Structure 1
Amino acid sequence: MPIATFFALLSSGYPLRGRRALLLGACLLLLLPLLAARAQEIRVVTEELPPYNMTENGKLTGFSTEVVEAVLKEVGVTATIQSMPWARAYDIARNGENVLIYSIARTPAREKMFKWVGSIATSEWALFAAPGSPIRLSRLEDAKKYQVATVNEDVGEQYLVSKGFVIGKNLQSSNKYEFNYDKLKLGRVDLWISNQAAARYMVRRGGGDPETGLVRVLELPELASDEGLSMAFGAKTSDALVERFRKGLETIRKNGKYEALRRKWL
């Protein structure tokens, strides 16, 4: 209905009930764009996993964070990124709508829980011991007699649990990777399962040499993949929104922005 006709009806002898209905309809039409925009609001969650995502001087930064920020800019979306314990971020993203999570390992167990935007970085995992430790492992099963530091609900912990390790028995679960590095240095655990890039970064940040500050006692190739660490939305998110972000990530890979960030951080 043309707007002039609408106002003519409101000011005419049009029945009062009809005018009320018209006014209500007009209000709904005005609200629909606002409601649609609100429905597309994006929430972004992550954890402290240097050098991919971490807080420095009160600012969230890191390689993956800057990649996500570049994708947000590319798709024209403004969003605040929140850092929190991984288990909380994982739960919010898995059960929420329009919630983006990074840097998340893509595994068969997680495949249908999320809608995957794409890979941010490759990821290699290992079990580490402190310098001077006599522990040497030829198979994962042998690690069950030791205390292993893990992060609550992260892919390393989920992997070990799937292999028969038990939280509270031979797994000590924490909220942050840096807590586990501290536990290892202080001798409160025997081993630490970690993303290798994160482990090396934490040693450097503590003033140590990554080549001598940790002993890699067992590589975990089952946790390594080309997908590595990814961006993903919860399964309740619309396919259209996920595809929009996929194209944004593809664009920054093609235009060189991704490679520039990789050289800067990794």
Structure 2
Amino acid sequence: MKRSIFVIMMAILLVGLAACGTKESGEKAASGTENKQKEDFVFASSGLYPPFNYTENNKLVGFDVEIGTAIAEEMGMNPKPVTNPWQTIIAALQTDKFDAIIGSMAITDERLKEVNFTDPYYESGAQIFVSKDNDSIKNADDLKGKTIGVVVSSTFEENAKEYTDDVKTYDSDVTALQDLLVKGRLDAVITDRLVGMYAVNQNNLKIKQVGEPIYLDQMGIAIQKDDEELLKKVNEALKSIQENGTYGEISEKYFGEDISQK
């Protein structure tokens, strides 16, 4: 009888230990799931295009960076902004270095052969800038035969070639605009109106914009051609941040207005 009681007690004890082990394992599994990092949304820009994307205190910041971050969070993903040279940025996207390009890339027919674009997230114009003491250039017609500075591999580079064979390319707009102040270096710079005005104000450059914008660009987020699922998700997230006011808040911070409404 005593032996039977002993056997029963041991069986109860073993069942209890097994239950505890199962519970503990379950708790660890749940904890592991909760602590699992969200999937990264890696998006790229040149990092040389203030106020849209640039480095400040060793950190990538700017309008594009904040828009990309808001889109990632809307999709429930972890935002991870990175930089890549502009002239190779599409090739890098095609080789899976990142998920998207959020770097104020103009939507063009040529680029659409290589990538897909989301709905436009803002529109801006190609603007002519000259030094303040330059009165010989008042509009696009005056650019014929002049020396024009542009960012390499930009839509502005192709546009400048319509007016002159003397086109100088730069890695950043700020460097190009600063060269307007070096005698004999450049006659004009063609760049985005918002970028140019920001550079003038931030760097106190003695330059000015002349004439109306030569043309308007619609900027989109570039996604790999075969990634229709991500394209749909990013478009939905972009629409959401525009509707819930997040986009407007970011835009007001950099431009004092909602540039998606321009």
- TM-score, normalised via structure 1 length: 0.73
Letter in 2 for 1:199: G
Q: CA deviation at 1:73?
A: 0.8
Q: Residue 43 of structure 2 contacts residue 101 of structure 2 at CA under 8 Å; is this kept in 1?
A: yes
Distance 1:214 1:76 in 2: 44
Which residue number corresponds to residue 28 of structure 1? none
Among candidates 197, 202, 205, match of residue 202 of structure 2: 205
Q: Deviations over 1:122-181 (max 9, x none)?
A: 2111111101013224444x42311100111011112333x2644xxx100111111101
1:121 is matched with which residue?
122
Give me the whole-angstrom Cα distance separating, in 2, the residues matched to 1:265 and 1:253.
Answer: 16
CA distance in 2, matches of 1:53, 1:206: 16
Unaligned runs of 5+ in 2: 1-38, 256-262
User: Equivalences for 1:66-85 in 2 at 5 Å?
Assistant: 66-85=66-85
Note if contact 1:85-1:176 (Cα within 8 Å) is conserved in structure 2: no
Match of 1:181 among 162, 177, 184: 177
CA distance in 1, matches of 2:139, 2:63: 33
Residue type of the alignment partner of 2:124: S
What displacement does 1:220 show? 3.6
Structure 2 residue 173 is the aligned partner of structure 1 residue 217: no
CA distance in 2, matches of 1:70, 1:41: 13
**Per-residue deviation, 1:190:** 0.9
Asked if 2 retains the 8 angstrom alpha-carbon contact of 1:67 and 1:120, the reply is no
AA aligned opposite 2:247: Y
Q: Distance in 2 between matches of 1:153 and 1:164?
A: 17
Letter of the structure 2 residue corresponding to residue 215 of structure 1:
K
Report what 2:63 is aligned to.
63
Give the equivalent residue in structure 2 for 1:243: 232
Instruction: Determine whether 1:46 maps to 2:45.
Output: yes
RMSD between aligned residues: 2.1
Identity value in percent: 21
Per-residue CA deviation, residues 222-246 of structure 1 (Å, 9 max, x unaligned), is: 3x14xx22211132x4101110111
Q: Residue in 1 aligned with 2:246?
A: 257
Q: Check the 8 A contact 2:71/2:237 in 1, yes or no.
A: yes
CA contact (8 A) 1:96 1:234 kept: no
Report deviation, 1:250. Answer: 0.8
CA–CA separation in structure 2 for the residues paired with 1:113 and 1:160 = 23
Aligned to 1:146: 146
Q: TM-score, normalised by structure 2?
A: 0.74
**Which of the pair has the greater relative contact order for Cα pairs under 8 Å at 6+ separation?**
1
Distance in 2 separating the partners of 1:76 and 1:159: 39
> How many residues end up aligned between the 2 structures?
213
Find out whether 1:229 has 2:187 as its counterpart: no
1:185 alignment partner, SS class = coil
Contact 1:135-1:217 at 8 Å conserved across structures: no
Give the direction of change, closer, same or farther, for the CA distance of 1:221–1:191 in structure 2 (3 Å limit). closer
CA distance in structure 2 between the partners assigned to 1:202 and 1:67 by the alignment: 20
Q: Secondary structure at the match of 2:112?
A: coil
Aligned partner of 1:22 in structure 2 is none
